[in-house]
A and B are shown apart, each in its own frame.
Chain A
Amino acid sequence: MTRFLLPLGIFIVLVAFLAIGLNLNPREVPSPLIGKPAPAFSLPRLHQPEAKFAPQDMQGKVWLLNVWASWCVSCRQEHPILVELAKTGLVPIVGLNYKDQRADALKWLDRFGDPYTLSIVDAEGRVGIDYGVYGVPETYLIDKTGVIRFKQIGPVTQDVLEKTILPLVAELNK
């Protein structure tokens, strides 16, 4: 009997490992920036190019930094969720317009709605590199002291928003 039990046991372990492995998303690379201060920058705003924005401006607030672009297809998927979130006023969203054309970006916001408290322009993607952006959209949750607490790679889904982001926002706002 043990002759068959041992291979069966090994097989079950193998299947378990494969099942876990195949359900992991290789695109989601854990960010080393979690728990670290959000990299500093100073970028022109999308709507008022003369005005600048820096992360320190949000000191004392819990906020989301959402990396988006008009050429990004998955951004369209998450956009309605962000628009709805903006309506609730639970957390301010700053948009980082990544490697985009100003005109295209403005047109895109006109068409799909603008959930952002303000948007900033990273035309060359340099701030994106500092934040470890490798696939748009990406969303960072930054706390009152300017530390990154959570990063969503890929579109924000209703599920992630309700189960992870909003509870974390509530906790950080305490």
Chain B
Amino acid sequence: MKKPLTTETQRHRGFLCFALLCVLCVSVVNPVSAKEAAPLAQDEAVEKRMVTISEELRCLVCQNESLAASRADLAQDLRREIREQIGQGKSDKEILDFMVGRYGDFVRYRPPLKGTTLLLWFGPFALLLAGVAGLVIILRRRARRVAPANLSAEEQKKAEELLKLGESELKP
């Protein structure tokens, strides 16, 4: 009866080690995440507005990321700036204008409609229209090309014979 007991204690010890490892991991990881989460906890409403605004903005350091998602230093500074401006009671539009005034229309994922952005907004539709027009022209031309061939009576007869021959050959 002694053998199963030892495996039991071994398993027990293994579990203890695992638990200890878990505790270690948590205690090592926790201070880092707690530090990063600190500004989030300050005011949920401000934070929510900050995220909605910064999702509209491009991070200029890593251009394919939004200001909300970026971990770049500048993005953190700009989020701080947005937070502070919300605290000062500025409207979303005022904050967006602040960013555009410094970094240009490029910071906005949805740039305003104006002379310089016309091509950006309507270019794809213009290309689509051109494509459709091209397709229509080509299809019409093709329809004209397969216009019925004028067969003489003799040719017609021969064609029918050939068709019949083909059919009879197909039959088992």
Binding site for B on A (CB under 8 A): 26-27, 29-33, 99, 124-126, 128-135
Question: Which of under 10, 10 to 19, 20 to 34, or 35 or more describes the interface residues of B?
Answer: 10 to 19
Min CB distance B103 to A, Å, is 5
Which residues of chain B are near A128, meaning CB under 8 Å? 77
Task: Tell me, in angstroms, the Cα distance from A50 to B61 when the chains sit together.
Answer: 33
In the complex formed, the residue of B with least CB distance to A27 is B63
Residues A32 and B77 in contact, CB atoms below 8 Å apart = no
In the complex formed, the residue of B with least CB distance to A99 is B73
Binding site for A on B (CB under 8 A): 60-61, 63, 73-74, 77-78, 81, 100-106
Grouping DSSP codes into helix (H, G, I), strand (E, B) and loop, the A interface class, with mixed when no group exceeds half, is loop
Task: Tell me, in angstroms, the Cα distance from A129 to B102 when the chains sit together.
Answer: 7
Which residues of chain A are near B78, meaning CB under 8 Å? 129
Residues A130 and B60 in contact, CB atoms below 8 Å apart = no
Q: A30-B104, A32-B102, A129-B78 are in contact. Are A134 and B73 (CB under 8 A)?
A: no
Min CB distance B102 to A, Å, is 4
Task: Name the one of A26, A29, A130, A134 contacting B74, with C-beta atoms under 8 angstroms.
Answer: A134
Task: Name the one of B60, B77, B81, B100 contacting A135, with C-beta atoms under 8 angstroms.
Answer: B60
Which residues of chain A are near B102, meaning CB under 8 Å? 32-33, 129-132
In the complex formed, the residue of B with least CB distance to A134 is B60
